[in-house]
Chain A
Amino acid sequence: MNEHAVSQEEALGKVILSARNIAKSFGNVHALKAVNFDVHYGQVTTLFGENGAGKSTLMKILSGVMQPSSGEIVLEGEPVSFSSTTEAQRHGISIIHQELSLAPNLSVRDNVFMGREIVGKGGVDYAEESHQTRQLMEELDEPIDPLTPVEDLRLGQQQIVEIARALSVNSRILIMDEPTSALSASEVEVLFRVIRDLKSRGVSLVYISHHLEEALTITDHAVVLRDGRMTAYAARAEIDLEWIVRNMVGENFDLGSPPEGYAMGDAVLSIEGVTVPDASVPGRAVVDDMSLSVRAGEIVCIYGLMGAGRTELLESVAGRGGMVAGRVLLHGEDISRLSIAERIEKGLVLVPEDRQRDGLVPTMSVGENLSLASIGAFTKGLLTSRGRERHVVGDSISNVHIKTDGPAASIGSLSGGNQQKVVIGKMMATHPRVVLLDEPSRGIDIGAKAEVFRLLSEGAAQQGLAVVFSTSEVGECLSIAHRIVVMSRGRIAAEFGADATKEEIMAASGEAVVA
């Protein structure tokens, strides 16, 4: 591994690792379609792309977390295949995931050597481990005591521990998936210094970030993915921010336009000064004194980066809890103290962000999932009426156009888009007046996306629904929304009409901060 005869000068910029025609499908979803990707020796290659473009999937394949459906990985001219992360690590490839994978209860030392403990005569050689850890941390200019529990460290420092762990296995290629999303500006500076240092030591890096400008300051090459395909590739010198945005978003698939030709009603939903504290950082609020009012028939899009507070806002409005201050008014009535069930009864529903975790009951059929929120509608006395239920479920299936073998089909047999329609259909079956949707387009293909938006648009125009949906894809803001609210750090950073431009929106969210 260490026998690199080639001098650094010669090797710099040479392709060390490349992915050839990598494809990956999950059931009906094609996450990657014949992607080519090169990693250059001693340089940073940044992967750009919207959510669901396939960035994380590609990185997981390169690091052995998953295996490609087809295509090959070439490491220094040799085709390789990794059946596990350990195998990838043996080839010198390590990944630092978006969510840190440290054990918070263990010390820095124990985390660095987790699973690869140095065993001496009398068991684990803690002295040697401590020594090596101290050395690593010093190399990284972050002299943290090896015995400090990881839970006592700031997030930025934890990130450095992750890097130390990767370096301790002699990683030549280091993949970082959104390393800065949870870091403060000064912590980002430290990370970037470490990255430059790593480069000078001949480590090749792959970098993923939503903060485009930030990524541009550190990268040497840019690769853009869109809908599972590589759409553009260039060296840093040849590109600018505009180039990235253009290639990321691409020609717009028509997701519709704001419905028109009807009068909006009065404000149905009013959020006044809603505040949700951050559970992990005392004193910080994920939703900070937010106020927003939505009229009947209006569609509002909430745009923001990960961690901007969109999910927390929508969940607290729906009654998931966490709200410490503020009021939620529905038709002028304060519903802040009501349970989720009571809010549903009053006509306020939430379609959650993560449909596997919060939306679907995997052990129940399509029909049972669809009718779960509206059981009362087909209950007579003590018992449910099967006939009425069939009716309710049948209506839902045809209203939201679910492609299924029937109500008895298992929920796992549906594609992602159809599963999402089941979650939407379930909440629509309660005949709501206000629908909140948290990233309704997450992980579904473009056709299903368009269909979901068309449903919402029809709901607003024909039934006077008030619709609030959140997204992290700027293209989706400029579809059916009458109004675009940009959230950043728990607050409203800007509000736009339907005529806003992508650049304006992204700038307001802090994604493309002009330095």
Chain B
Amino acid sequence: MSDVSQDNDNERGKLFGGDFDIKRVLLEGRAFFALIAIIVIFSILSPVYFSTSNFLTMSSHVAIFGLLSLGMLLVILTGGIDLSVGSTLGLAGVFAGFLMQGVSFEILGVVFYPPVWVVVILTCGLGALVGAINGVLIAYFKVPAFVATLGLLYVARGVALLMTDGLTFNNLGGSPELGNTGFDWLGFNRLLGIPVGVLILAAVAIVGILLLARTPFGRWVYSTGGNARAAELSGVPVKRVQVLVYVISGICAAIAGLVLSSQLTSAGPTAGTTYELTAIAGVVIGGAALTGGRGNVRGTLLGAFVIGFLSDGLVIIGVSSYWQTVFTGAVIILAVLLNSIQYSGQKKQQASSDGKTTSPQPEGATERSPASGSTAGNAGTQS
């Protein structure tokens, strides 16, 4: 046992000493450094960029992508993909707008105006339903995630358009007499000077961190994405996990839909078009592997901020929206490039450290086998 701890120290020395260290930190913290770089560059280019009010405005934009990205992160961690989140966002906004207009029951001859908290719950329920359809198709009917969620992308968008006939709900304020005011509080208003949307993102992120790092479910998510077969044989309910991540992703999209329509004070059926791609980009820039099993909330949040701060910065300095698209694309490619460098680098490092520990081992191993047998025997008698 004692020599094990010595090995440990040696290994630490190797990993954390030497000049390789800096490269490693730069590589692993790349989303963070990219964010710093973006802030510095745009602050130099534009006097208005570096100010609290601008940061808060940009953050409230980030909140939308951040919420989608967090849901997407769970899906990607299991090795899946959810292309339907943009449409779900739009559908959720329209559905909330529809509820805010009042639901009329013609048989009873009454119009029911649900309070905002009921709207929130029903809308999240709708998001969960879309996610559940995705999840069941993927986990139980073995439809490839890409195809299933692509289908839902169209269906959800279509339903949103049908619900409004292509029009937009502009009256989301409610009225005090009907008891359904407060939609503003989902994203438009500020609490302690911070946009509510940002606070919601923060809350969802904290839940996400706890969920992934501290619950059995989180462990199941990582193991399902790392090796579903091994996870299944270890008793992980892989199929239920797959359904649940899509449900969570759907709920996140619904929340984002609520926040966005509150921010805009209107709910249009085309809201959130192509947002799924931005959400995926955020997750990837945050260092998650599309093959599953690798990634975390912190990285994903940074990824969402990188994209948001970059595109808003480009707007502020007056770059054309066409160029913005080009820049965003370039950043995504760069991020994936760095991902593959990081993961292949890790493998190489492992291989080389294997090699290092191997070389003295063969002779040691043959000598050790009786010795290790005896220590093992001791341990056995002790227990």
Contact = CB atoms under 8 A, between A and B. Distances in A.
A344 interface: yes
Contacts of B222: 361, 363-364, 368
B358 A25 contact: yes
B230 A379 contact: no
A340 B236 CA distance: 8
A364 B222 CA distance: 8
A364 B293 contact: yes
B231 A363 contact: no
Contact of B354 (A28, A341, A364, A427): A28
A359 to B, nearest CB: 5
Interface string A116-129: 00000000000000
A412 B348 CA distance: 11
A425 to B, nearest CB: 12
B373 interface: yes
B104 interface: no
Interface in B315-365: 346-347, 350-351, 353-355, 357-358, 361-362, 365
Contacts of B369: 446-447, 450
B361 A413 contact: no
A31 interface: no
B236 A413 contact: no
Nearest to B295: A363
A27 B358 contact: yes
A426 interface: yes
Contact of B293 (A363, A446, A454): A363
Contacts of B229: 357-358
A372 B231 contact: yes
A362 B227 contact: yes
Interface string A380-413: 0011101000000000001101011110011011
Interface centre among A340, A352, A362, A364 (most CB of B within 10 A): A364
Interface string A401-437: 1011110011011000000000000110010000000
Contacts of B372: 401, 447, 451
B294 interface: yes
B215 A382 contact: yes
Contact of A383 (B210, B226, B233): B210
A364 B223 contact: yes
> From DSSP, what is the main secondary structure of chain B's interface residues?
helix
A361 B293 contact: yes
Contacts of A466: none
A30 interface: yes
A483 to B, nearest CB: 24
B378 to A, nearest CB: 11
Contacts of B353: 413
A445 B365 CA distance: 10
A92 B51 CA distance: 72
B229 to A, nearest CB: 5
A373 B234 CA distance: 5
A28 B361 contact: yes
A384 B214 CA distance: 5
Given A27-B354, A410-B350, A373 B373 contact: no
B237 to A, nearest CB: 6
Contacts of A344: 234-235
A120 to B, nearest CB: 38
A361 B231 contact: yes
Contacts of A376: 216
A337 interface: no
B7 interface: yes
B176 interface: no
A426 B233 CA distance: 11
Contacts of B4: 403-405
B293 A28 contact: no
A426 B226 CA distance: 16
- Most chain B CB within 10 A, of A318, A340, A430, is at A340
Interface in A31-52: none
Interface in B279-337: 289, 292-294
B21 interface: no
B45 interface: no
Contacts of A445: 365
B292 to A, nearest CB: 8
B24 interface: no
Interface in B1-23: 1, 4, 7-8, 11
9 contacts: A340-B232, A341-B236, A361-B222, A372-B230, A372-B234, A373-B235, A386-B214, A410-B346, A427-B234
CB-based closest 10 A-B pairs: A363-B293, A361-B226, A363-B226, A341-B235, A447-B369, A373-B234, A344-B235, A27-B354, A375-B216, A361-B227
Interface of B: 1, 4, 7-8, 11, 210, 214-216, 219-220, 222-223, 225-227, 229-237, 289, 292-294, 346-347, 350-351, 353-355, 357-358, 361-362, 365-366, 368-369, 372-373, 376, 379-380, 383
Given A358-B233, A404-B4, 11 more contacts: A27-B358, A341-B236, A362-B226, A363-B294, A364-B223, A379-B216, A398-B379, A410-B346, A412-B350, A450-B373, A454-B380
